[in-house]
Structure 1
Amino acid sequence: MSHLGLVAVVVRDYDEAIAFYVESLGFELVEDTRISEEKRWVVVAPPGARESAVLLARAAGREQEARIGDQTGGRVGWFLNTEAFDRDYQRMRAAGVVFEEAPRHEPYGTVAVFRDLYGNRWDLIQLRRAGTAHDPGDHT
């Protein structure tokens, strides 16, 4: 059986990214291993996540630096599922997370778009039912 293990988010600085993901989003720091003087293997994940996590990959060079904050061309690129939307929405707002909109109710669940510290767009989403077919990322 296969599963998605990691997705990379290009960041400007490891420590500022760790602070945002851990303190503002409530993720756990899973690993922070120094590979070289400039490179670290930094993995964060929502509490209790078993399969998928986020690799915080510091930009190397101008081309990668140009992608910070716009890895998906302005589309929502990441979907943070929750079982307690109101609790997590309020906690994240109190921690300074910037939401683009008030929560809205869609056929697939409750959702609100937020931006990470670099401007990448995410959905905070509570699905109505597991396995619902949908395209929640069609926000422009």
Structure 2
Amino acid sequence: MPLSLAHIALIVRDYDEAIAWFTGVLGFTLVADEYQPEQDKRWVLVAPPGAGPGAATLLLARAASPEQEAFIGNQAGGRVFLFLKTDDFDRDYAAYRARGLRFVRPPAEHPYGKVAVFEDLYGNLWDLVELASTGCVSASASRP
């Protein structure tokens, strides 16, 4: 039986600011925004532009305790947390810079492809990456 990732939870401070940032800056699509009264929370899913049916989505999960709040912006302990794959690095890098996306490491060419590191609205690190034809990201990719 094949398995795949369905959702990746990203702890956020506020649903609406996170939706605005992901849809406005990254151009993601809002897939779901449903209130769950029994838990007093929302089920908010966003997906990268062009993501097909069945593709993994981000679950924007509002921190529900001080312990969870402590992880906003640092879900991977300072390492790159998520990898946003593109088919045209230069196009998307330019578009994101024009939208004010903050890149913390400039574009670099590696055997596995072209990559630059950016921060999301909370400070989590992401790679924008166009993979080389091998499609393999080496173990040395995106070390802080």
Kindly indicate whether residue 44 of structure 2 is the aligned counterpart of residue 42 of structure 1.
yes
8 Å contact kept, 2:131–2:137: no
Aligned ranges 1:1-140 → 2 under 5 Å:
1-36=2-37, 38-50=40-52, 51-135=55-139, 137-140=141-144
Superposed CA RMSD in Å reads 1.4
Q: Tell me: CA distance 1:23–1:136, structure 2 relative to 1, closer, same or farther (3 Å).
A: farther
Q: Which blocks of at least 5 consecutive residues in structure 1 are unaligned?
A: none
Distance of 2:108 and 2:142 partners within structure 1: 14
Please report the TM-score for the alignment, with normalisation by the length of structure 1.
0.94
Q: Tell me: CA distance 1:95–1:71, structure 2 relative to 1, closer, same or farther (3 Å).
A: same
8 Å contact kept, 2:112–2:134: no
8 Å contact kept, 1:75–1:139: yes
CA displacement, residues 73-122 of structure 1 (integer Å, 9 cap, x when unaligned): 00001000000111111111111110002211011000000000000000
| TM superposition shift of 1:42 | 0.3
Query: SS of 2:43's equivalent?
Result: strand
What one-letter code is carried by the residue in structure 2 that aligns with 1:47? P
Between the aligned residues of both structures, percent identity stands at 53
8 Å contact kept, 2:112–2:135: no
Query: SS of 2:105's equivalent?
Result: coil
| TM superposition shift of 1:136 | 5.7
Runs of 4 or more above 2 Å deviation: 135-138
Q: Tell me: CA distance 1:137–1:42, structure 2 relative to 1, closer, same or farther (3 Å).
A: farther
CA displacement, residues 7-52 of structure 1 (integer Å, 9 cap, x when unaligned): 0100000000001111101110011101128410000001221321
8 Å contact kept, 1:77–1:137: no
What one-letter code is carried by the residue in structure 2 that aligns with 1:42? V
